[in-house]
A and B are shown apart, each in its own frame.
Chain A
């Protein structure tokens, strides 16, 4: 087990280095720089600015500084938000995105597993059709359509919930629901098909033949076996949701970190591009590691091991 984790950590650092280097190369190869603007400033001003951010040095020199900054976790000030450091931006934004994402993942997981199970247990009957129609709607209605719709009715017409903002508990409900919907649909469909596979297995028949109460068969044997594919997709899904959604955070004026992913690139805000990319990459890799460890816990047949074939 420890050996497995050790090996994964080494691999993780290696992938991070590759990602960091690729990001650097891509970042430098898009046309324009942080100071490209419609108004043309005097060349001296631009030269002063480049010197201030170390962009007057050669590309290899910049690459070395950049790696050094990464290792010391100090990416310096954002070029666009002049008074804020990248670390400030991420440490303020991430907890908010993560909170919103956490609620939405929880909601998606509960509702998705529930809907999928119901659909599978009543396969071919009304609940199945109802759930799957909901799932198709969930997959095909993008969150940026659903969100204004929720705002208009629940927020403006009926005045049940606040339209936007962050800080009060009731302000989480609309964005979390809008964010969860697509995931609910995905999980429900996955859960349904995997449940259908499991219910026809011999061990389920055995369990029933032994006289186990039906709810125990479902909860202990069916769901536990059927949830493996769901767990597989949850790793990347959690990483994606917890690091913020550009669209949902924009619509609901939530001060998360979702927008930095997009805006840092349009602004060519180099320190922020590096910060967000590396942060997201490490988080994603970590989530995948956790998922791999979870397999062993959910299904003891899956052995986590460092050495192949042993």
Chain B
């Protein structure tokens, strides 16, 4: 019955096979040895972005993907080197008045990518635009340093009262609320970047498309294929254009790390950050030196709800912290080169009163391995002080994520083994988790903190009484006093001393138990040279180049 049917089927299948195999793009890539000659094609493919940057207008930028693109395209009054030292940018030089409450910036002859000169007016415009309450900028508070900045943002002062004024095309005068000697370093941050006034006034959505985007840095936008890729090309108007060797940077959006890794292996990508390092391969790639890990000044830990029994008691909190084997967590669970944390302020943070970094300048608050007998003793004493006979049931919360889950399960086991306590685990969706922590509806929960700026303070003032960031609901008057002292002083030795003392108190009270300090994992082909990675996480391709490969 079916002879002709078989024939028909056979033809169909053959056709499908032909169709499938016909469209094969064969690209051979020969991996050359490291060569110091410049490659002919200076085109860099970077896989560091997982999706569309939410906003490339400095007004809207608030995330690392936008930051990465802006770092290549825009330049502020000042820039910073890899260690965070301030260097001149669009401003050639600046001077401050006696108490550092007024700054005068002198701009160099720089141009926007459309040929317009970069003027002091562009800065004044951008900063006032940032503070305009109608524009609802997330990072408006970065400009609260300006006189009347906060008031204008709250609608309590007029725009003309804000302490920034373009004296002429090349001179910008800034008046601050209070003396701030480090103000020039803040002007490198993307919230304080200039905006071409002419362009932005003409088109409100100028930063949404490549055709209307105007920049003043080493690169300009060539193409923005939404949801797919961003292509930058060298900006011929850039004042330092001779130093820029890369002619084009492609940022394809790579949503899946395994895909990104395979694209790196195949040579489609030249480099990328953790976005192209699959978590289950991190350890073996680091061992093989294919991936590298830089210290990231950020801390992972556990917030205790100090308003919820039994974690009202510092001894109980310490007991839970001491029962954790941090070394085992970084070696067997996270496996990304992280460092067991012995304090809340992470590695990489400078101590401005000494040459050594912050973490080398204090006692070891926590041992890398667990101290079970000490922990058990503390728990017993703590429970007695709270008038409890037995340890009540407690729940450890974390936001749904494979990595956090593994850590939570390891912790659960450690608390069982070293403390004899059964802990329940609860996971929840990210924003639900944030709401629960904020409202104090939890026993103890994971926390992670990335610095807002490179100073230990960004890890300290968050635990002041009543701080919006203080999910532990921690309150200690002595701690608050020391932080306030550090904040009001301009003397680095005094500031650092007060903050060290504050951390001593905090690690005794343990509202937060530090677990580990983060790393930044990245992969880079050996023919990619001179990429600058700064401690605050910015990556600059301004002076990078490719050798023959």
| A-side contacts of B469, CB under 8 Å | 39-40
Cα–Cα, bound, A199→B452 (Å): 72
Taken together as a complex, chains A and B put the C-alpha atoms of A37 and B362 apart, in Å, by 32
B390 to chain A: which residues have CB within 8 Å? none
| Residues 25-60 of B at the A interface (beta carbon under 8 Å) | 25-28, 51-52, 54-57, 60
Interface status of A69 (Cβ within 8 A of chain B): no
Q: Complex: how many Å from CA A114 to CA B12?
A: 9
Tell yes or no: B434 within 8 A of A by CB.
yes
Quick check: A253 and B255 within 8 Å, CB to CB? yes
> How far, in angstroms, from A253 to B263 measured CA to CA in the complex?
11
Number of cross-chain contacts by CB at 8 Å: 169
* Interface flag for A52 (CB, 8 Å): yes
Residue of A nearest to B59 (CB): A82
- Would A114 and B262 be within 8 Å (CB), given that A163-B268, A259-B255 are in contact? no
Name the contact of B60 in the complex, choosing from A30, A51, A82, A114 (C-beta under 8 A). Answer: A82
B99 contacts partner chain A, Cβ-Cβ < 8 Å:
no
Cβ–Cβ contact A36 & B226, under 8 A: no
Flag if B5 contacts A251 (CB, 8 Å): no
Does chain B have a CB within 8 A of A161?
A: yes
Contact yes or no, A159 B259, CB < 8 A? no
| Contact between chains at B258 and A251 (CB < 8 Å) | yes
Chain B contacts with A in 241-281, Cβ cutoff 8 A: 252-256, 258-259, 262-263, 265-266, 268
- The answer, among B136, B252, B254, B467, for a CB contact under 8 Å with A52, is B136
Contact B138 A49 (CB under 8 A): yes
Give the distance in Å from the alpha carbon of A220 to the alpha carbon of B396 in the complex.
Answer: 64
Say whether A253 contacts B268, CB under 8 Å. Answer: no
> Chain A's nearest CB lies how many Å from the CB of B51?
7
Interface residue range, chain B: 35 or more
* With A31-B431, A110-B12, A215-B8: A251-B259 Cβ-Cβ less than 8 Å: yes
Residues of A within 8 A of B141 (CB): 41-42, 45
Q: Mark B228-241, 1 if CB is under 8 A from A, else 0.
A: 10000000000000
B432 interface residue, CB < 8 Å from A?
A: yes
Residues of chain A within 8 A (CB-CB) of B468 are 40
With the chains together, A157 CA to B436 CA distance in Å?
A: 47
Which residue of B20, B252, B467 contacts A173 across the interface (Cβ within 8 Å)?
B20
- Residues of A within 8 Å of B434, CB to CB, are 32, 36-38
CB within 8 Å of B: which A71-99 residues: 80-84, 88-89, 92-93
Contact at A161–B263, with CB atoms within 8 Å? no
Contact A170 B23, beta carbon cutoff 8 Å: yes
Instruction: Considering the complex, give the chain A residue whose CB is closest to the CB of B50.
Output: A250
Residue among B8, B13, B25 with max Cβ neighbours from chain A (10 Å): B25
Q: Give the chain B neighbours of A191 by CB distance below 8 A.
A: none
CA distance A81 to B436 in the complex (A): 26
Q: How far is the CA of A256 from the CA of B56 in the complex (A)?
A: 21
Contact of A259 among B51, B136, B265, B431 (CB under 8 A): B51
A24 interface residue per 8 A CB criterion:
no
- Are A114 and B56 within 8 A (Cβ)? no
Cβ–Cβ contact B12 & A45, under 8 A: no
Q: Are B134 and A164 in contact (CB under 8 A)?
A: no
Docked complex Cα distance between A41 and B490 (Å):
25
Contact of B227 among A37, A93, A160, A163 (CB under 8 A): A93
Give the CA-CA distance A253 to B26 in the complex, in Å.
Answer: 20
Q: How many residues of A contact B (CB 8 A)?
A: 66
| A250-B227 CB under 8 A given contacts A32-B435, A41-B141 | no
B256 touches A81 (CB 8 A): no
What separation, in Å, do the CA atoms of A40 and B435 have in the docked complex?
Answer: 11
B136 near A51 with CB under 8 A, answer: yes
CA–CA, A168 and B73, complex, Å: 29
Q: How far is the CB of A20 from chain B (nearest CB, A)?
A: 23
Q: Please determine whether B56 and A83 come into contact, CB atoms closer than 8 angstroms.
A: yes
Shortest Cβ gap from A248 to chain B (Å): 10
Q: Which of B21, B133, B259 has the most CB of A within 10 A?
A: B259
Q: Does A45 lie within 8 Å of B136, measured CB to CB? A: yes
Alpha-carbon gap, A49 to B132, bound state (A):
11
- A114 and B9 contact, Cβ closer than 8 Å, known pairs A82-B60, A83-B207, A213-B4: yes
Is A161 in contact with B24, judged by CB distance below 8 angstroms? yes
Q: How far is the CA of A307 from the CA of B438 in the complex (A)?
A: 58
Chain A residues contacting B55 (CB-CB under 8 Å) are: 81-83
Interface residues of A in 213-253 (CB under 8 A from B): 213-215, 217-218, 249-253
Q: A110 — which chain B residues lie within 8 A by C-beta?
A: 12, 16
- Specify the chain B residue showing the minimal Cβ separation from A34: B431
Pick the contact of B431 from A41, A169, A266 — CB < 8 Å? A266
Distance to closest chain B CB from A179 (angstroms): 15
Bound: A246/B10 CA distance, A: 35
Q: Are B12 and A214 in contact (CB under 8 A)?
A: no
A253 to B154 Cα, complex, angstroms: 42
Do A255 and B227 touch across chains, with their CB atoms under 8 A apart?
yes
Q: A39 — which chain B residues lie within 8 A by C-beta? A: 452, 469
In the assembled complex, the Cα of A82 lies from the Cα of B56 at a distance in Å of 9
CB atoms of A156 and B265 under 8 A apart: yes
Which residues of A sit under 8 angstroms from B258, Cβ to Cβ? 148, 151, 251
A30 touching B23, Cβ below 8 Å: no
Query: What is the CA–CA distance of A83 and B135 in the complex, to the nearest angstrom?
Result: 13
Q: Which residues of B contact A289 (CB under 8 A)?
A: none
Give complex CA distance A177, B263 in Å: 20
> Can you list 18 A-B pairs with a CB-CB distance of less than 8 A?
A32-B431, A40-B467, A42-B141, A81-B52, A81-B54, A82-B55, A83-B60, A83-B207, A148-B262, A155-B266, A167-B228, A208-B1, A214-B1, A251-B256, A252-B259, A253-B253, A255-B228, A259-B255
Give 19 A-B pairs besides A44-B133, A159-B28, A215-B8 with Cβ atoms closer than 8 angstroms: A38-B448, A42-B140, A44-B150, A45-B138, A81-B52, A82-B57, A83-B205, A114-B9, A114-B13, A121-B2, A148-B262, A151-B259, A170-B24, A215-B2, A215-B5, A250-B256, A255-B253, A266-B431, A268-B431
B residues near A, CB below 8 A? 1-5, 8-9, 12-13, 16, 20-21, 23-28, 51-52, 54-57, 60, 133-138, 140-141, 150, 153-154, 205, 207-209, 225-228, 252-256, 258-259, 262-263, 265-266, 268, 429-432, 434-436, 438, 448, 452, 467-469
